[in-house]
Chains A and B, each alone.
Chain A
Amino acid sequence: GENVEQHPSTLSVQEGDSAVIKCTYSDSASNYFPWYKQELGKRPQLIIDIRSNVGEKKDQRIAVTLNKTAKHFSLHITETQPEDSAVYFCAATQGGGIVTGTASKLTFGTGTRLQVTL
């Protein structure tokens, strides 16, 4: 099955600096890569996603890049703010599609705890 590795497990940056979180996946059939943010005591929520037909996607201060050949994707947060402090999870889906008749099965990385200091 799919295996997703995520690094680093913890990351501390100063406010205004950039943060980068990296993930690798094992199944070349995976074609959807979302990123979730989980604040303390709350549910994970989607912040950005990318599909395998795109190499990069940006949404304000957040960007995600995908390298299908190397099977890795990364989350970039620029101009970090204290409210960016949270645990971030990457994920990859195996299968999924009307043709295959299978649902997407999200496999998550182990998470990165980001701390933005003043």
Chain B
Amino acid sequence: GAVVSQHPSRVICKSGTSVKIECRSLDFQATTMFWYRQFPKQSLMLMATSNEGSKATYEQGVEKDKFLINHASLTLSTLTVTSAHPEDSSFYICSAKHRDRGYHEQYFGPGTRLTVT
């Protein structure tokens, strides 16, 4: 149990276009979802925290108008990278907090590899 999926797993887009990444908790309800970004050979960096039905909280230095997050239900959060540029190319990973479990045990998706050309 406690499976998180992401779609797409890999996407290539042209500079200036927007890309939407979906994060779904498949067999549990997630009150909170987190979005991370990971550059090659680096650690995960938290971008934002989203709670179902409310606005996301962004980490310092993350542009909220560029990285739009929507947490429309207890099983789905989306990250839209608007007007993507090559420097946005990265590995984007979401995680979800199980509604009935502590924050110290989060479940991560498999990640989405974004390449902006």
Partners in one complex: no
What residues of chain A have their CB less than 8 Å away from a CB belonging to chain B? Answer: none
What residues of chain B have their CB less than 8 Å away from a CB belonging to chain A? Answer: none
